[in-house]
A and B are shown apart, each in its own frame.
Chain A
Amino acid sequence: MTNNPDSEVRFLMGNEAIGRGIIEAGCSVATAYPGTPSSEILESLTRWKKELNHPIYLEWSVNEKIAFEVAYGASLSGSRAAVAMKMVGLNVASDPLTSAAYLGVRGGLVVVVADDPGPHSSQTEQDSRFFAWFAKVPVLDPGTPVEAREMAVRAFELSEKYEIPVILRPCLRVCHARQNVELTNPKEAGGVGPFKKNWTRWAAIPKYRFVLHGELNEKLNKIRTEEPEAHPKLLLGTNGNKLAFITSGSVSSHVRDIISSNAQIDNIDLYKIDLPFPANLDALQAIVDGHEQTVVIEETYPVIELQIANRTKTLGRLSGLVPDRGELTPEIVEQIIGSVCKVETAPMVQPNIKPRRPSLCPGCPHRSAFYLIRNVFDKAIYSGDIGCYTLGINMGAVDTCLCMGASVGMAAGLSKAAAGDESAKVVATIGDSTFFHAGIPALVNAAHTGANFVLVVMDNAVTAMTGGQPTPATDYLADGAPAKVINMEKIIEACGIGFCEVVDPNDYNQMKDALVRANEHTYEQSAGVSVIVTRRPCVRMPGVVLSDTRYMVNDDCDRCMTCIRDLECPAVSFNKSDKKVEIDEDLCAGCGFCVSVCPSQAIEAKGGK
């Protein structure tokens, strides 16, 4: 593929390519909070660091706001720094980002924000390019893993040249695509010299913020007019056709493939903008004015479209041509192109899809915890949170899911406003990583204001949903170096909580007794929030030893379905032809909790173990 002896081609995930770009650019500090589809960026950096024996400092921060602030501090001290998160993470980091746009940066600062049109694994379909516009920072929008690596490097250059944070916005279809990517050798970690005191900038009071706002506008105008990425580039066509398409990011790849693979479509000029904000307004308007019709296809909000001042000859989301929500899949893009070009396309397929419902893993300690919570609190209101344990929905043990940490804050409100239903109980569930992320301030608030609910902190020692990243309670850092372990119980106690017990959720009696005591504390004695920490490691983590014991259902089974309906373990199913409950040995993780659950005591270990 290449004759350059210093380069190498690898089949890399978009997120790995971004990690590679960050390290190739000479970045010294990279931070992140995990979240699909962004998590593999910092994960890959830990591998690049090891493989290249690179000195880069890597950190899984407690949340996105802190991750941003650590990276920002590194930038002010003169180093190149990067911070990675998913798009809803940018909501958490929005406070420092919008302020940092005014203050500016010193060492290049790249904010990688992964978007999830669909959404596949997120609460919203928000467009981080729109957020970039709101915060007044430039945003690069890669279409492929190859572009993602190049743009990561370019983002540092732009950031340093204009002293402004730069967002790199890959969508899911870039993050989790794989492509053969050409690598180059990392640049020496450089810098722009140590921190220089200047309070009118780094601690600017409102009077100086006004001045800085003017400087920021000036920077954006320069980027808009002078940087080639802000200018739409011609991908296909002649610049002289009657019809123009303008696109950016991962959807641009679908558009390009569909137009170039259809011989009937030969009258389109296809343009792509690598830097959709701040786009070159004159160049955009010139395309629109120079064509009979211009179609804008972008994900997920009309960011480019809104920057076209005169849209009378423009079609896109605002005109209703492009759907106003959902991922723009190749099928949808093909329909749009077909309708505009008057070319016949294959009809939209309505596939008969019966997707398998995601479920907590067999052996997952959350399952036993949820089972016992339902067992003790039955019809309580269950305030849930973000993580694997949102799947407690399947067990009727999660009624709400808003955002990171909201289980605790919402539980306070739900319990205070239970007017007219004095018997209403509220049980909140939150994972360990989410508790550290945003649960602690809410717990302080609840204790201080005398809220009354039960909180179960489900501690599996990792951020499990996103692949098992360390938390503040883990004894190692992102790169494996030893870490100070933060004691969760001491924090809970220090938040002002008078009832805190730690249990093994797979120990039926231990956990059930603790839940009964929590019920007494909170609901019989009205003594405030009680907290139970269910502690057992995630079954998917390397090093976790699972039992080899397998279980069978004996003839005492009266098919009451408690194990299937209430425990919802993927390994247990009802065989309709035999009319028997079965346990799949390949799926079973040997936790044996189903034995405790069965009212007929019909589940037993095989071989009498």
Chain B
Amino acid sequence: MLEMVICGRGGQGVVFLTRQIGQIISDKGLNVISSETHGMAVRGGSINSHLRIGDFQSPLIRPYHADFILSLDESETSNNIHFLKTGGIVVENSNKQSNSDARRINATEIARNEGRAQLENIVLLGYAATMDGFPITTDEIQRQIAKDKRDSIRDANIKAFNLGVAYGAGATSVT
């Protein structure tokens, strides 16, 4: 049983991340249910997805129940922090340093250096996947991303993902 909130602004790829993670878990034969935000809210508004792995019927997470919060925008972290359980982990796209509140990576800058700021969600996923307790492995995610038939998008996603993984490996070796 594991519960995860993914949040950000409209256009940052919150729904894409949720689908990728959910599909990998589904392929592993585990039960998974998630919720997405559509419609009015996607026009630059606040977006969050809930993802629950295990024997759940409801797609929504209650406050104090999330094991992970993946945040693509620091201002959205505070809008979702009430979902985090004691001991849960916040993984945040931010230009600030990691501390006891959140493990941080400047995914936007890393993605922009790759030429596409939109890759920030994949960079963040790479970083999150290096953490203890994350429900899927870097290998599993790489295999999922590699399924994309569009060459240039697939290659860019793999590279961005690996940059996030490398950042996580570096962060681990430092601390």
Which A positions have Cβ atoms within 8 angstroms of B?
Answer: 1, 9-11, 13, 36-37, 39-40, 120-121, 143-145, 173, 176-180, 250, 252-254, 256-258, 329-331, 334, 346, 349, 351-361, 388, 391, 465-467, 570, 586
Say yes or no for B96: interface residue by CB 8 A criterion: no
Name B49-77 residues within 8 Å CB distance of A. Answer: 56-64, 75-76
Which B positions have Cβ atoms within 8 angstroms of A?
Answer: 9-10, 18-19, 22-23, 25-26, 29-46, 56-64, 75-76, 78-79, 81-82, 108, 112, 117
Q: Which residues of A contact B26 (CB under 8 A)?
A: 9-11, 180
> B1: shortest Cβ distance to chain A, in Å?
9
User: A330 contacts B79, CB within 8 Å?
Assistant: no
Cα(A253)–Cα(B60), bound, Å: 9
Q: Which residues of B contact A180 (CB under 8 A)?
A: 26, 30-32
Which one of A180, A351, A353 has the highest number of Cβ atoms from chain B below 10 Å of its Cβ?
A180
Given contacts A178-B22, A353-B79, A354-B75, 4 further A-B contacts (CB under 8 A): A11-B32, A176-B38, A177-B34, A358-B42
Q: Dominant SS at the B interface?
A: mixed
User: A36 contacts B40, CB within 8 Å?
Assistant: yes
Which residue of chain A is the closest to B40 with respect to CB atoms? A121
Q: Which residues of A contact B37 (CB under 8 A)?
A: 120, 176
Q: Which residues of B contact A40 (CB under 8 A)?
A: 38
User: A173 contacts B60, CB within 8 Å?
Assistant: yes
User: A356 contacts B44, CB within 8 Å?
Assistant: yes
Q: Which residues of A contact B18 (CB under 8 A)?
A: 178
Which one of B18, B19, B33, B46 has the highest number of Cβ atoms from chain A below 10 Å of its Cβ?
B33
User: B32 contacts A361, CB within 8 Å?
Assistant: no
Cα(A491)–Cα(B8), bound, Å: 43
> A321: shortest Cβ distance to chain B, in Å?
19
User: B41 contacts A121, CB within 8 Å?
Assistant: yes
Known: A329-B60, A346-B63, A361-B43. A13 touches B36 (CB 8 A): yes
> A107: shortest Cβ distance to chain B, in Å?
31
User: A352 contacts B62, CB within 8 Å?
Assistant: no
Q: Which residues of B contact A254 (CB under 8 A)?
A: 58, 60
User: B19 contacts A178, CB within 8 Å?
Assistant: yes
Which residue of chain A is the closest to B1 with respect to CB atoms? A261
> B65: shortest Cβ distance to chain A, in Å?
9
User: B63 contacts A178, CB within 8 Å?
Assistant: no
Cα(A213)–Cα(B30), bound, Å: 49
> B33: shortest Cβ distance to chain A, in Å?
5
Contact of A144 among B33, B42, B43, B75 (CB under 8 A): B33
Contact of B43 among A253, A331, A358 (CB under 8 A): A358
Cα(A254)–Cα(B60), bound, Å: 8
Which residue of chain A is the closest to B62 with respect to CB atoms? A330
Cα(A40)–Cα(B39), bound, Å: 11
Contact of B33 among A179, A349, A353, A361 (CB under 8 A): A179
Inter-chain contact count A-B, CB under 8 Å?
Answer: 134
User: B22 contacts A349, CB within 8 Å?
Assistant: no
User: A361 contacts B31, CB within 8 Å?
Assistant: no
Q: Which residues of B contact A349 (CB under 8 A)?
A: 63-64, 82
User: B32 contacts A358, CB within 8 Å?
Assistant: no
Cα(A510)–Cα(B101), bound, Å: 53
Which residue of chain B is the closest to A329 with respect to CB atoms? B60
Cα(A476)–Cα(B10), bound, Å: 28
| 11 A-B contacts (beta carbon < 8 Å) | A39-B38, A121-B39, A178-B32, A179-B33, A253-B58, A330-B58, A353-B79, A467-B38, A570-B44, A586-B108, A586-B112
Which residue of chain B is the closest to A347 with respect to CB atoms? B63
> A391: shortest Cβ distance to chain B, in Å?
7
Q: Which residues of B contact A145 (CB under 8 A)?
A: 33
Which residue of chain B is the closest to A464 with respect to CB atoms? B43
Contact of A176 among B36, B44, B56, B82 (CB under 8 A): B36
Cα(A254)–Cα(B35), bound, Å: 13
Cα(A504)–Cα(B32), bound, Å: 47
User: A355 contacts B38, CB within 8 Å?
Assistant: no
User: A330 contacts B10, CB within 8 Å?
Assistant: no
Which residue of chain A is the closest to B60 with respect to CB atoms? A330
User: B39 contacts A36, CB within 8 Å?
Assistant: yes
Cα(A39)–Cα(B33), bound, Å: 20
User: B44 contacts A178, CB within 8 Å?
Assistant: no
Contact of A351 among B25, B32, B63 (CB under 8 A): B63
Known: A257-B56, A351-B79, A358-B10. A177 touches B33 (CB 8 A): yes
Known: A180-B31, A356-B9, A357-B45. A37 touches B59 (CB 8 A): no
Which residue of chain A is the closest to B79 with respect to CB atoms? A353
> A602: shortest Cβ distance to chain B, in Å?
24
Which residue of chain B is the closest to A39 with respect to CB atoms? B38
Which one of B30, B39, B40 has the highest number of Cβ atoms from chain A below 10 Å of its Cβ?
B39
User: A144 contacts B57, CB within 8 Å?
Assistant: yes
Cα(A105)–Cα(B32), bound, Å: 38
Q: Which residues of A contact B75 (CB under 8 A)?
A: 354, 356
Q: Which residues of A contact B61 (CB under 8 A)?
A: 330
User: B45 contacts A355, CB within 8 Å?
Assistant: yes
Cα(A37)–Cα(B42), bound, Å: 13
User: A11 contacts B22, CB within 8 Å?
Assistant: yes
User: A257 contacts B58, CB within 8 Å?
Assistant: yes
Which residue of chain A is the closest to B47 with respect to CB atoms? A356
Cα(A586)–Cα(B44), bound, Å: 13
User: A466 contacts B39, CB within 8 Å?
Assistant: yes
User: A37 contacts B79, CB within 8 Å?
Assistant: no
Q: Which residues of A contact B35 (CB under 8 A)?
A: 173, 176-178
Cα(A37)–Cα(B41), bound, Å: 12
Which residue of chain A is the closest to B111 with respect to CB atoms? A586
Cα(A1)–Cα(B28), bound, Å: 9
Cα(A357)–Cα(B161), bound, Å: 30
Cα(A144)–Cα(B55), bound, Å: 13
Which one of B25, B62, B78, B79 has the highest number of Cβ atoms from chain A below 10 Å of its Cβ?
B62
User: B62 contacts A361, CB within 8 Å?
Assistant: no
User: B57 contacts A358, CB within 8 Å?
Assistant: no
Cα(A356)–Cα(B30), bound, Å: 34
Q: Which residues of B contact A359 (CB under 8 A)?
A: 43-45
User: A177 contacts B59, CB within 8 Å?
Assistant: yes
Cα(A173)–Cα(B38), bound, Å: 11
Cα(A354)–Cα(B58), bound, Å: 25
Q: Which residues of A contact B60 (CB under 8 A)?
A: 173, 254, 329-330
